A and B are shown apart, each in its own frame.
Chain A
C-alpha cells in the first residue's frame, strides 16, 4: 500500500507521456519546476532556512550548461554535472555570508546575492548575451541516441529521469542522520547545538546541496530549450519556487512535486484562457488554495485520506 502510494506520482508522470503527447513541453516545464521546488524543500522545508535568492543557482546552472553547449560541449549529462558543481561552488562560497547574518538579515543577503548575479549576467553580455539571451546553444543527443525533438519527447523523459534520480537521492538524504539533524535544527537550533549538532556546518552543507540541485534544474531548462536568458536568474523565479513549495506543502518532498505541477498547470490554463487578465485569476486561485489550510496540498491530501 505504502509503496503503491509512493509510486503513484511517477506512474502519473509516465502515464502523462502517453496520454498527452501534445502537452510534453508543458510537462517538461513541470518536471523542471518540480526539481527547483525540491531543491528549495531541502533548504526551506527540512533545514528551515528561508531564501529569496535561490534563482541565483538555477540561473547559474542554466548559463553554465548553456555556455558549454554554445562553446562546443553539448553532451547533456556531463553538462548537468558541471552545472551542479559550479552551482555548488557558488553555494560553498556564499554560505558563510548567508549564515553569518542570522535569520532575517540572512534573507536579505540571499536576496542581495540573487540581484547581484542578475546584474552581473546582464552586464557580461559578451558571455551571456545580456538581455537578449544566450544564442546558438547546441545540445547533443542524450546518450548519443535521443535527439531533443520538436515534440519534446526526449526533453520530457530526460527531465523526468533526472528528477526521479535526484528525488530518490533527496529521500535518502532526508532519512539519513544528516537529514534528521537538519530537522532538529529547524525545530530548535539552540537545543540542536546543545546536543552536539554542528549547526552552522550542517546548514552550510544543506545550502550547498540545495544549490547543486537548483543548478541541475537550471541546466535542464537550458538544455531542453537550448536557450538561456536573464529570466532564469530573476527574483520572480525565486519567489515562484517558494510559492510552489508552500502550495504543495513544506518538508515532504512530494509537496514540491505536487505544488510545482499545480502551480504550473494553473498558470498555463489561466494565461491561455485570459491572456490579458490571467494574473488576477492566478492571485485568486493562490489565495483560495492557501485557505486549504496548513501543509498546502499535501496537508489537505493527508487530512482527506485520514478521514
Chain B
C-alpha cells in the first residue's frame, strides 16, 4: 500500500514537472475524436475539414501558442472506444481540449472524462438536448434537435398542413425531434397520423415508407443522421410517395449539403429547417466556402463542417481571453457567453447552459445553376434549445 502510494506520487511528480515548465508555452493540443470510418464517416470528414478551414484562414498560432490537432477515429458506432480515446488523449497526450463527437451516444460516453480531467469538451456535431447537462465542461457549436424542429412544426401548421406522419431514427436525437415536432404541431392544431422509428444501424427504409404511403398524410416529417438522407430519399422516390402527393418536411439533416446534389430531383420542393445552408448569403459564408474549398475541393461543406469551424473559433477565442492559459475551468469560463458572426449567421454560446443560441432558417430545395441547394426563405432569430 505504502509502496503503491509512493510509486503513484513518484510517477505524478516526474510527469508533472515537465508539464509545469511547458504549461503556458508550447503547443496547445486539441484531441479531436470523430467517426472517420464506418457509416458516419462523412460527419468526421466534414468536421475535420471545417477545423482545417479555420486554421487555414486564421493561422495556427493563437495567443502565442501553436494549435496542434490530434485526430482519432472512433468508427461512429462504438461509444466505449470514444471514451477510451478521450481518456488516452487526456492522460497520455495531455490535450487541453477535447472536440468532435459525431453522434449523441459517443458524446455521452466521453462526458465523464471531461468532468474528471477538467478539460473543455466542444461538441461539434452531436445534437441531443441533454448532452450539455452531462458535464460542466461541455460547450456546443452544432445545434439541438428541438431547436431546429420547433420552427419546422410551426411553419407547417402556419402553411395549411394539418396531417403529418413522422419518421425519425430510434436514438436520443430522433426522439428529441419526434417529441418537439409533436408538441408544437399538435399545439398549433395539427394531427400526427403515424409515428415511425427506424433503427440507427443498417436501417431499411422501404417498409417504413410503405406504411407512410398507406397512411397517406399531407406531409412526412423526417429526421435521420447526416449522411442517411440519400438512402431514405431514394426509397421515397422508388415507393412513389411523391406521386401520392406526400410532401417532405424535416430538419436539415435529411437534405445534407454534402450529398444533396446526388439525391436528385426527388428533393426539389422539400422544406427543411436548419441553422446552416451552404447557400447562405453572407460575406462570412463566402469566405468560409473559399477556405473550405482549399481543404476539400469538390466537396460542399454541410452543417457539420460549420460546427467544426465554429468549434475551432470558440476554442481559439477562449484561449485568447485567457492569454494562452490552458486551465480547463478558465477556458470554459472564457468561452461562456461568447458571441460572433459565424458563416451560418449570428451565434452565441449561452453563459448558463453552455449551449448554442442561433438563427434557424426555413429552406426550400431548389435547382440553381444546375445544382440543388437549400434556399433560405424565412428566418427565426436567436432560437434557444427548449428540450
A: residues with CB less than 8 A from B are 18, 21-26, 29, 122, 125, 130-133, 135, 150-153, 221, 225-232, 234, 271-272, 275-276, 278-279
Contact = CB atoms under 8 A, between A and B. Distances in A.
Interface stretch (B22-30, B106-114, B295-303, B361-369): B106-114
A24 B45 CA distance: 29
23 contacts: A21-B11, A25-B91, A130-B171, A131-B201, A132-B104, A132-B128, A132-B171, A133-B105, A150-B87, A150-B91, A151-B91, A221-B80, A225-B83, A225-B84, A225-B109, A227-B79, A229-B78, A229-B79, A230-B201, A232-B80, A234-B77, A275-B72, A276-B73
Interface string B18-61: 00000000000000001011000100110000000000000000
B88 interface: yes
B305 interface: no
B107 to A, nearest CB: 10
Nearest to B107: A132
Contacts of B41: 276
A289 to B, nearest CB: 21
Interface string B80-116: 1101100110111000000000001100110011001
A271 B172 CA distance: 28
Given A21-B11, A278-B37, A133 B79 contact: yes
A244 to B, nearest CB: 16
B105 A132 contact: yes
Contact of A275 (B36, B112, B128): B36
Interface in B222-242: none
Contacts of B71: 275
Most buried by B among A21, A152, A221, A278: A21
A122 B92 CA distance: 34
Given A130-B171, A132-B104, A133-B105, A23 B92 contact: yes
Q: Which 3 pairs show the lowest CB-CB distances between chains A and B?
A: A22-B92, A131-B171, A275-B73
B80 A229 contact: yes
B170 interface: yes
Nearest to A153: B8
B108 A133 contact: yes
Contacts of A228: 80
Contacts, number: 92
B170 A279 contact: no
Nearest to B169: A131
B72 A271 contact: yes
A225 B83 CA distance: 8
Contact of A227 (B8, B83, B88, B170): B83
A231 B108 contact: no
Contact of B109 (A24, A221, A229): A229
Contact of A278 (B15, B45, B73, B199): B73
A290 B249 CA distance: 51
A131 B105 contact: yes
A121 B44 CA distance: 27
| Candidate in A22, A130, A135, A275 with the most chain B CB atoms within 10 angstroms | A275
Most buried by A among B72, B79, B170: B79
B200 interface: yes
B279 interface: no
A226 B112 contact: yes
B333 interface: no
A305 B83 CA distance: 40
A276 B91 contact: no
A25 B88 contact: yes
B315 to A, nearest CB: 20
B117 interface: yes
Contacts of B36: 275-276
Nearest to A237: B78
A24 B15 CA distance: 15
Contacts of A231: 77-81
Given A131-B105, A227-B109, A271-B72, A152 B79 contact: no
Nearest to A17: B7
Contacts of B116: 150
B72 A272 contact: yes
A26 B78 contact: no
Contacts of B83: 225, 227
A151 B92 CA distance: 9
A114 B128 CA distance: 29
Nearest to B36: A275
A231 to B, nearest CB: 5
Nearest to A122: B199
Interface in B277-323: none
Contact of B170 (A18, A131, A153, A232): A131
Contacts of B84: 25-26, 29, 225
Contacts of B78: 229, 231
A276 B88 CA distance: 19
Given A22-B92, A227-B80, 9 more contacts: A21-B15, A25-B84, A26-B88, A133-B105, A225-B80, A227-B109, A229-B79, A231-B80, A231-B81
Contacts of A276: 36-37, 41, 45, 73
Nearest to B92: A22
A23 B87 CA distance: 10
Contacts of A125: 170
Contacts of A278: 37, 73
Query: By CB atoms of chain B within 10 A, which of A122, A131, A228 has the most?
Result: A131
A130 B171 CA distance: 7
B91 A152 contact: yes
Nearest to A271: B73
Contacts of B91: 22, 24-25, 150-152
Contacts of A133: 79, 105, 108-109
Contacts of A24: 91
A234 to B, nearest CB: 8
A132 B108 CA distance: 8
A279 B84 CA distance: 19
B131 to A, nearest CB: 11
A225 B108 CA distance: 12
A151 B80 CA distance: 16
Contacts of A152: 87, 91
A24 B84 CA distance: 10
B379 to A, nearest CB: 32
A22 B87 CA distance: 10
